[in-house]
Chain A
Amino acid sequence: MSAHAPFISCLRLLSACVIALSACVPAWAADAPAEAASAPAVAASAPAESASAPAAAPQRLDDRIQDVKGDVIRLNRDLLVLEEELLFPANTQVAVFVSMDVGKMFELDSLQLKLDDKLVASYLYSPLEVQALHRGGMQRVYLGNLKSGEHEVVAFFTGKGPHFRDYKRGAMLKFEKGADPKYIELRIQDSTGKLQPEFDIRVWQ
C-alpha cells in the first residue's frame, strides 16, 4: 500500500485540478457544449469560458485581425455607396420591399414581381427568410431604375393559405415616379375579420 502512496497522491492532485476548475468558473449562457468535453467542470458555454479570464491581455495577432475586419467593413460601406450612386442614382432609383405581419394565414413560398409588365424579380423563400420577415424584417427584393412618369407594379404571391391550401394572389398599383427615389412595399397581412391573408402595395412617401 505504501508503495503506491506517491502515485495516488499524484492522481489525487490531478483530480484536485478538476475540482479547482469546477469551483472557479461561473457560467453565463449555453451554446458550446463541446467546451465541456475538455474541461468537464467548466460551465457549458463559450461566454463562461471567456468570463473566467476577462482580464487576459489581448494578443497582437487578434488585434490586427480585428483592425483588418474593421477596415474591410468600412471599405464595404464605401463600396456599397459607390455602387448604388453609380448604378442606381437617386433620380431614377426604385426599390421594392416585401414585408409580412403575423403571417399565420399565409405561408410564403415565392414571389414574382413585374414592373410595367416586365418580370424583374422572382424569389423563392427559405424558412429562415420567412421567419426573418415574421420578426419584422423587410426584404429589398428589387433595386432598379425607372424614368419619371407613371408606372405599374404587379406582384404575385404563391404559398399556402388557410387550411394549408395552395394559394396564389396578386396585387397591382400604378404609381408616379418623380425625381426622388421611390420605395414600394409589398405587404402581406392577416385579415382576422375575413380569416384570409391580404396583399397590398404601398408607396413610401
Chain B
Amino acid sequence: MAALACALGTAQAADMPQPKLVRDPHYGDTLFHFYQDHYFTAVTSLMASQHFQRVSQHADEAEMLRGGLLLSYGLHREAGDVFASLLEKSASPPVRDRAWFYLAKIRYQRGFMAEALGALGRIGKQLPPELDEERVLLHANVLMATQDNAGAARVLDELAKRPEAGLYARYNLGIALIRSGDVAAGSVWLDQLGKAVSPPMPPTDEYRSLRDQANLALGYASLRDDKPEAALGYLQRVRLEGLQANKALLGYGWALAAAKKHSEALVPWTELLKRDGRDSAVLEARLAVPYSYTQLGAFGQALERYNEAIAVYGKEDAALDESVAAIRAGKLIDGLLAANPGVEMGWFSSIQQLPEMPHAGHLTDVLAQHEFQEAFKNLRDLQFLDGNLKAWQDKLAVFDDMVATRRQAYAERLPKVREQQGTAGLNALRKRRDDVAAELQRVDSEVDLEALPTDRQRALIERVKRVNDNLDALGPEAAPDAARRARLATGLLTWDLAQDHVARLWAAQKDLRIIDRELGEAIQRDAALAQAQIDEPARFDAFAKRTAELAVRIAALIPRVATLAQQQQQAAQDIAVAELVRQKERLAQYSVQARFAVAQLHDRANGSREADRAPKP
C-alpha cells in the first residue's frame, strides 16, 4: 500500500512543474532539496516558508508539491486535505486537474473505488501529457479492482493504440482482456510485447523484464490450456539470465514433458540444477528430473535422484531453521540497518547491502517481498525520525541558553546604557539645541550682522573695535585722519558682514534642522530602547514558552518513535520469518512427494522381484 504512495512521490517528481522563472527564492530553495530527493528537508522547509508567507507567488504549486510530498510519506489524510483545499479555493484548471488526479490516487489507494472513479471523472483536459498516461493506468486499475475488467480493457485500449503508449499500458491491456475472458485478444497484446525487439522498444532492463513476464505468463497459460507446443514458443523467448529465467526453464521442461519429450525435458531441468539451490524453481526441478527418468524407465537413476532431493531438502530445511533463528535474534534487521543507513526519510532508499547472515541466499526471497521492503523502509524512517528529534532536542537546549543569556544581557545592560548615554545626554542636548534656536531667532529678528561672522571677520571686528576704543580714548581731535580711516574700515566691515549675513543665517538654520533630525533619531532610539525594556522581556518569555512547549512535544515523540520502531522491527522480522516458514512448508511438501515417489519405486522394484520369483508357467 505504501508503495503506491511511493509511486505517487515518483509521479509527483515527474509531474513537478519546472518554472522557467522562480518568483520566490524560497520556493526555489524547496525545489533544490526536492530535486535531490531530500523530501523531508523539502517539505519541512516549504512549510516554514509558507508560515512566513514567502512563497506566495507560487502558492498553488507549493501546495501541490506539499500534498505530493506528504503523500509520498503515506500521509493520506493530510495530503487529501491539501488537495481538497486546493479544489475549494477554485485554483486554475491545470491545478484542479492535478488535484483531482492525486485525490483519485489517494482514494484508490485507500480502497474507495467509487470515490476514486468520481475523482477521475472530474479530471479535465489540462493534465500534463506525462500524467495523462498514468491517469489511464489508474482508471484501468480502479475498474479492475471493481471487477470491471471489460471496462478497464476499453479504457486501456485507446491508450495502448497510441504510438507513444508505454509498455505498461500494453501489458495491462493484455492482462485486463484475459481477466475479462477475452483470452485470445489479451494474448495478442502480450504476444506483441513478448516478441517485440529493441529498437523500436527501449533497450532497457525495465522493458526486457516486462517482455520476459509477458512471455512467462503466456507460456504458463498455454501449459494450463494443454498447449505445450505454444508454451515452448513463448518460454523460449525468456532470457536465460533474467529474473524469470528459472521459472521459464522449469516451465520449458514441463512443456517438453507434456509433449512426451522426457529426455529433452531433462536438458532445461539439469541446467536448473546448476543454479542457486534455494530457488523454488530449482527445488521443484529436483523432483522433475527423477520424474523424467521414471518416464524414461531409468528407475535406478530416478531413485538415486529422489534420494538426493530428499537429502538436499533436509539440508535446506536445517539451513532455513538457522536463518529463522538468526532473524528472530535481530541479526537481519540490525545488519540491514547498519549496512543501509538512510540519509533522509523516503521511499527512494533501497536496500543496497546485504547483512552478514549464516545463509545469505535465503534473504533474496525475503528482501524481494514488497511487504518486507515497506516494513524496512518504515523502520529506517523511524530511525531517521529518532535522530532528527534528538538533534532538535540538543538544539533546543542551546536555544534555551541563548534566550536566557539575552534576557540577562538586556536586564543588566539596557538600563545602564539608557542611563549613561540616553536620558542624561539627551536632556543636555535638547537644552543646547533650544538655546541655539533662540539665538538664531534673535539674530534673524534683530538682523545682528556680527552674530555669524567667519573667523577672519571675527578677527577684523575685534581689531576695528580695539581701534575705535583707542580713538575714543584719545578724543575726537587727536587723530582725525586715523578716525576717518577707522570709520571707513568699520563701514567696509559692516558692508562685508551684511553681504554674507543671509547666506550664513540660512546655513545656520540648515544646520539646526540637521541637529533637529539627528536629535529626533536619538530620541526615537531612546524611546525604542525604553520600549525594548518593556517588550523584550515579554518576547523572551514568549520564546522560552515556545521552546518549552516544543521540548515537551519532542520528549513525547521520542518514546513514541522508539516504541513504534521496536514494534516495526518485530513486524519486519515476522514477515521475514513467515516467508522462510513458507519455504519450509514448500520443502516439506516436496520432501513428502519425493519420499512417496521413492516408496513407489521400491514397491515397483519389489513387485518386479516378486514377479520374477513367481513360478513361471
Contacts and interface: CB of A to CB of B under 8 A. Distances in A.
Interface in A50-74: 50-51, 53-58, 61-62, 64-66, 68-74
Interface of B: 1-4, 6-7, 10, 18-20, 22, 25-26, 28-29, 31-36, 40, 43-45, 47-48, 51-52, 70, 73-78, 108-111, 113, 137, 140-142, 144-145, 152, 167-168, 171-172, 175-176, 178-179, 205-206, 209-210, 213, 216-217, 220-221, 223-224, 243-244, 246-247, 250-251, 254, 284, 287-288, 291, 294-295, 345, 350, 364-365, 367-370, 373, 378, 381-382, 385, 388-389, 392, 395-396, 399, 402-403, 543, 546-547, 550, 553-554, 557, 560-561, 564, 567-568, 571, 589, 593, 596-597, 600, 603-604
Contacts of B176: 26
A195 interface: no
A110 interface: no
22 contacts: A3-B603, A7-B597, A15-B223, A19-B217, A23-B175, A37-B365, A45-B7, A61-B564, A61-B567, A61-B568, A62-B74, A65-B568, A68-B564, A75-B553, A79-B396, A80-B45, A81-B48, A81-B52, A82-B543, A99-B28, A138-B22, A138-B28
Interface in A132-152: 132-133, 135-140
Contacts of B209: 30, 33, 36, 44
Contact of A132 (B35, B109, B295, B604): B35
A38 B141 contact: no
Interface in A1-59: 1, 3-4, 6-8, 10-12, 14-16, 18-19, 22-38, 40-51, 53-58
Contact of B368 (A35, A81, A95): A35
A82 B399 contact: yes
Contacts of B19: 136
A71 B216 CA distance: 45
Nearest to A132: B35
Interface string A163-186: 000000000000000000001010
A26 B385 contact: no
Contacts of A8: 291
Contacts of A26: 137, 140-141, 144, 152, 168, 171-172, 175-176
B48 A139 contact: no
Given A45-B7, A78-B553, A136-B22, 12 more contacts: A11-B593, A12-B254, A18-B247, A44-B206, A48-B168, A50-B2, A62-B74, A80-B44, A86-B402, A99-B28, A131-B35, A132-B36
A135 B568 CA distance: 37
B381 A54 contact: no
B243 A40 contact: yes
Contacts of A86: 399, 402-403, 543
B171 A4 contact: no
Q: What is the interface residue range for chain A against chain B?
A: 35 or more
A97 interface: yes
B247 to A, nearest CB: 4
Contacts of B45: 80
B18 to A, nearest CB: 5
A133 B210 contact: no
Interface of A is mostly: helix
B1 A50 contact: yes
B216 A22 contact: yes
A124 interface: no
Contacts of A84: 48, 52
A142 to B, nearest CB: 12
Contacts of A47: 3-4, 6-7
Contact of A64 (B221, B287, B385, B564): B564
A26 to B, nearest CB: 4
Given A33-B243, A73-B47, A78 B210 contact: no
B606 to A, nearest CB: 13
Q: Which of A57, A66, A69 has the most CB of B within 10 A?
A: A69
A30 B35 contact: no
Contacts of B564: 61, 64-65, 68
Contact of A23 (B22, B221, B284, B287): B221
A174 B495 CA distance: 50
A51 B287 CA distance: 34
A135 B14 CA distance: 12
A108 B201 CA distance: 36
Nearest to B381: A69
A201 B294 CA distance: 83
A129 interface: yes
B1 A29 contact: no
Given A49-B370, A61-B571, A138-B22, A4 B111 contact: no
Contacts of A81: 48, 51-52
A43 B209 CA distance: 9
Nearest to B250: A15
B178 A23 contact: yes
A70 B81 CA distance: 13
